[in-house]
Amino acid sequence: MAVTLKDFFAMAPQLILVVGGLLVLVAQLTFPKNGRVGIANQITILTLILALVVVIFGLSDAKGIVTLLPRAFTGGDSISAFGGTFRYSVFSGSSIVLILSLALGAIFLMRPLLENLRLHFVENYFLILMSAAGYSYALCAEDLMTLFVALELGSIPILALIGMHRNSQASNEAAIKYLLFSAFTMAFFLLGIAILYGATGTMKLRELREISPHFTRTRAMVVGYSFLFVGFFFKLGAVPIHAYLADVFEGATSSFTAFLASFSKAASILIFFKVAMGINDGFRLYLAPILAAAAIASMLYGAFASLGTNNLKRILAYSSIGHAGFMLALLGLTNSVEVGVAPSVKQDAGAALYIYAVGYSVASLVAFMAVGFLELRNGSFESLTLDNLRPLKGEGRALHWMLALAVLSFMGMPPLAGFFGKFFLFKNMAFSSSLGLAAAAGLSSAISVYAYIRVLKPLFLSDEEVEKPTALTSLLKPISVRFAFLLSFIVLTFFALAIGVLYQNGVLAVHKIY
């Protein structure tokens, strides 16, 4: 396998992120202690912006004739590199834009929270950049072993972030649970890779896609793919690999919980979809029922479990499990359609999945960051429950509105982003005649409405005396925080303005995956 300069141009976004991470480490070694964290913050922001610019506008040669890196939303070409183990397409570019935007938003919002908790370390920025590099590489991986390494590069930094609050017993416990579940499920993932390789002699997704069911290998391949699904169920927090999620979301610092709930989940579902697209259509009758069962169980469990707790972060965690079920439902929709219309269903479902991932991930980032600010509303940490939520004045009122906006988006209230995600979800369910999935989705959505109303009621309809927070003015003072919240508000509220472009780009992106 001959490696050329074009191969490195194809992975320019990932290289930019890795170089930025190394520069952050250099800043830690060379700058004075009292200024190195600020420098690391600026390096990370510039790195993410540079990577976003490269992904959005692409790269070409000096004459503008040869495409070295396709544009994220309008590019028509796909670039293969490193012997076919890496493939950059419109789908990869669009997905990388989403996860890098989420990482940038998280960095804008988390700095004052981490400073207040004395957790503002240089290592945070290095870990975020490495996680972004890992997941962005996984979105381009064409080889299962390369995919595994990239997924681990994306998730191990998140494990370190979860346990960053070393003086918190809850944070330490959350990190241990995440580590144990990760090790257990990724062992299944590796075993699935080994079984698929043993049955087919290849680990490349494009070659696996050409292998149809055969009586000598069908069972082995179904088992292998099922074991791959276990790893993705963990990444998504979907049933049956869901038990860790509420404890991890509650125990981790809210800033890092927001990063996990938005960035990691969006990246994981898009990577899962890419892998699912690499499965031959002949296996869909064997594998789609597994996805449908996990989707139904996740939707119903998330809805019912959210009714049994008063802790706000746990309510949002159970909501996350439910939304993982909604997104999994889009992966299993081809179960009841004819083979001839399966490609059309895949393109529509893929576009719907991208729209759902955008709306859900932005709402999750806003919700958990708002919770993080409200936990410090009086200058010291106070875990939020439905019992101590009360109306606030000034900046607290604005945070309540941001939290309410995210919750209403989760609910699917028009015209917010979450409404369009569920609209396209039910539209595709109706088209594919997936009545069981549609019934479970409708029931869980109805139950979840009550859970979300439990959150909204103390914010705006409580009879308790209005409280004026003492610390929020200083926490919300940075322009970067206000800008990130404003941009999130615009995305969630005016999502309808971009829905047509996103849907058409999603259809094109899915078509260009393979």
DSSP string, 85-143: TEEE-HHHHHHHHHHHHHHHHHHHHHHHHHHHTT---HHHHHHHHHHHHHHHHHTTB-B
Separation CA 366–CA 409 (nearest Å): 11
DSSP string, 282-312: GGHHHHHHHHHHHHHHHHHHHHHHGGG--BH
Place of tokens 């106070």: 382
Residue-level pLDDT at 216: 73
- The whole-model pTM stands at 0.94
Instruction: Tell me whether strands 59-60 and 86-88 are parallel, antiparallel or unpaired.
Output: unpaired
Separation CA 355–CA 492 (nearest Å): 12
Instruction: Tell me whether strands 86-88 and 79-81 are parallel, antiparallel or unpaired.
Output: antiparallel
Place of tokens 């049955």: 199
Residue-level pLDDT at 336: 46
DSSP string, 321-359: HHHHHHHHHHHTGGGGS-GGGHHHHHHHHHHHHHHHHHH
Nearest partner of 128 among 105, 95, 161, 97, judged by Cα: 161
Structure tokens at 376: 């410090």
3-class secondary structure, 471: coil
Q: Do you know the residue count of the chain?
A: 514
Residue-level pLDDT at 74: 67
Other C-beta atoms closer than 10 Å to the C-beta of 74 total: 13
3-class secondary structure, 11: coil
- 8 Å CB contact between 70 and 81: no
Type of residue numbered 317 = A
Residue-level pLDDT at 476: 83
Other C-beta atoms closer than 10 Å to the C-beta of 23 total: 19
What are the structural domain ranges in the chain?
5-511
Separation CA 368–CA 363 (nearest Å): 9
**Measured CA angle at 472 (ends 469, 478), to 5 deg:** 165
Nearest partner of 97 among 139, 150, 55, judged by Cα: 55
Walk along the chain (514 residues) in steps of 10 and give the mean pLDDT of each run.
78 94 92 88 96 86 61 72 86 92 95 90 95 95 93 95 91 94 95 94 88 81 94 94 94 94 95 89 84 95 93 94 94 59 73 93 95 81 80 78 94 92 90 85 94 89 66 82 92 89 79 69
